[in-house]
Amino acid sequence: MTKVSAEPRRRGHPESNRRVRVRFAPSPTGWLHVGNARTALFNWLYVRHTDGDFILRIEDTDQKRLVPGALGDIKSGLRWLGLGWDEGPDAGGDYGPYAQSERLGIYQEHIEKLLDSGYAYKCYCSSERLERVRQEKQARGESPGYDRQCRNLSAEERAAFEAEGITPVFRLKMPLEGQISFEDVIRGEISFDFDDLEDIVLLKSDGYPTYHFANVVDDHLMEISHIMRGDEWISSVPPHLVMYEAFGWKPPIFAHLPMILDPSGEGKLSKRKGSGQMTEIREFRTAGYLPEALFNFFARLGWAYSGDQDVFSREQAIERFDITDVRPSPSAFAYDKLNWMNGVYIRDLPADVLAGHLTAFLRDKGFDVDPDFTRRVVPLIQQRIQTLGEAIDWIDFFFADEVQPDPAELPGKKMDETQTAEALAAAYDVLAELEPFEQDAINSALRAKAEDLGLKAGQFFQPIRIAVTGKRVAPPLFGTLELVGKETVLERLEAAQKLLLQTTMLEQEE
Ligand code: GLU
């Protein structure tokens, strides 16, 4: 076997008469992050576009790297983004089990087949020897990797190792020369020299398969038609194709997705210590991004959407998505663009849907809100926020027992403390009389009062705003006063007057 080639397919036409079955195959070794979520999203879009099956397979064979809670985080992240799976954990299906740790017998059976057909061999080398070989090869300037010492052991030599009680690993017997090439839907033909490739381990001495072996066996047994994954996996294709050939299986169609870069466009997107740069789905969720907006934003990372607008619905994306429109060049993750897009989604959502998101979000943050409050507060802030997180800065005074206005900020334009205190007292009197306490009535009453006092509306309203919200910039005043409620508004107006009088007394003493 000197040349293995996946059936060549014309670039741009991933023709296949098989039913489309794709998989997202995360390893539960960390939280769902942007790169994986984008991979899941492209698989999901393609399968919804072609009416195929989306499979969630858990690649948990590296037992040492498992992170407790990671699987739950991956599943809830996918669900939150609206990327439900047709087969897999919690969904069942005819091709299970869907966690590789539950399929050990299957890999055992398949390794025997490769051993029998001469495509795999047992390797008895100790980790110390492997390390020594690695260092020696490095010192000679050779590419690192196993030196194939056990590839041609005689039956006697093997028996001697077995007698020592050494549990072997199983390695793939790679061709020693020639080239291997395959057609990637996104990148065209990709070739590798066998010279540069080593005999990778397929099954470890603990009885668990490696990623490579389990991945190939499962993709075949689960009848996966297309593999869409990050381009960091391109270098695993050659040994995978050798395995497909060894088993006599037809390989799936490959599409390696472009890398996601830092906003600067330099280097892979990563969580840099202290940068505060979000990379995990749960961080975006906690910061108050909407799943609809993230879905839209992720869809644009590498996919040239054929429409002319940046913002499109899930349905439009499903209708138009094709792997052949994914570009090979990496795309930078533009946080500012995401913020803008999230703002667009927030502004466009029906108020009651946004209120639902906001109630859940605030409760998650420990605020004791009732849906009636969020329904009423949404019209006050919907046009002003880009994330639900920003809503908190706009509305936190609603939840405070009391606010702490800065006395230096309270006076209206060209007003001193005494005049301002008088204005607040006048506002108090007029609002105390007002029944019902509703924004239109508040609006007219306060405007009339401003005129009585000979003040401009802005002069009069600013101290009231600061007294009630503690902020110079707050949601529209009259709706805010109505929602804060008469009793609290009056309390805060009174507190602000006291604060101003104290300040004037202190100033006089000085
Ligand atoms: N388990 C691999 C990962 O963590 C899957 C790679 C693949 O899709 O083949 O991304």
Q: What is the DSSP letter of 30?
A: S
Same domain assignment for residues 365 and 301: no
Question: How many structural domains is the chain composed of?
Answer: 3
Same domain assignment for residues 325 and 253: yes
Same domain assignment for residues 82 and 3: yes
The rounded Å distance from CA 26 to ligand 1 centre is 5
The amino acid occupying position 286 is: T
In a domain, 110, yes or no: no
Q: Determine whether 471 is an active site residue.
A: no
In a domain, 155, yes or no: no
Same domain assignment for residues 357 and 465: no
In a domain, 406, yes or no: no
CA distance 349 to 340: 14
Same domain assignment for residues 374 and 301: no
Ligand 1 neighbours (beta carbon < 6 A):
25-27, 59, 211, 215, 229, 233
Same domain assignment for residues 300 and 423: no
The rounded Å distance from CA 25 to ligand 1 centre is 5
CA distances from 485 to 116, 369, 418, 497 (A): 81, 15, 26, 19
pLDDT of the chain, 510 residues: tens digit per residue: 334 444 433 333 345 578 999 999 999 999 999 999 999 999 999 999 999 999 999 999 999 999 999 999 999 999 999 999 999 999 999 999 999 999 999 999 999 999 999 999 999 999 999 999 999 988 998 888 899 999 999 999 999 999 999 999 999 999 999 999 999 999 999 999 999 899 999 999 999 999 999 999 999 999 999 999 999 999 999 999 999 999 999 999 999 999 999 998 888 888 776 677 899 999 999 999 999 999 999 999 999 877 678 899 999 999 999 999 999 999 999 999 999 999 999 999 999 999 999 999 999 999 999 999 999 999 999 999 999 999 999 999 999 999 999 999 999 889 999 999 999 999 999 999 999 999 999 999 999 999 999 999 999 999 999 999 999 999 999 999 999 999 999 999 999 999 999 988 887 776
In a domain, 330, yes or no: yes
Same domain assignment for residues 312 and 354: no
Q: Residue 329: is it exposed, middle or buried by C-beta count within 10 angstroms (0-12/13-18/19+)? A: exposed
Same domain assignment for residues 381 and 444: no
Q: Which atom of ligand 1 is nearest to the CA of 227?
A: 8
CA distance 379 to 355: 9
CATH of the domain at 458: 1.10.10.350
Longest dimension (CA), the chain: 109
* Tens of pLDDT, residues 22-48: 999 999 999 999 999 999 999 999 999
* Tens of pLDDT, residues 167-224: 999 999 999 999 999 999 999 999 999 998 999 999 999 999 999 999 999 999 999 9
**Mean pLDDT taken over the chain:** 93
Same domain assignment for residues 344 and 368: no
CB 124 within 8 A of CB 166: yes
Q: Indicate the residue among 363, 394, 425 that finishes a domain.
A: 394
Same domain assignment for residues 306 and 379: no
CATH of the domain at 249: 3.40.50.620
CA distance 157 to 406: 85
- Domain housing 449: 417-509
In a domain, 464, yes or no: yes
CATH of the domain at 373: 1.10.8
CA distance 145 to 269: 29
The rounded Å distance from CA 27 to ligand 1 centre is 7
Same domain assignment for residues 57 and 72: yes
CA distances from 87 to 53, 93, 163, 280 (A): 8, 5, 45, 24
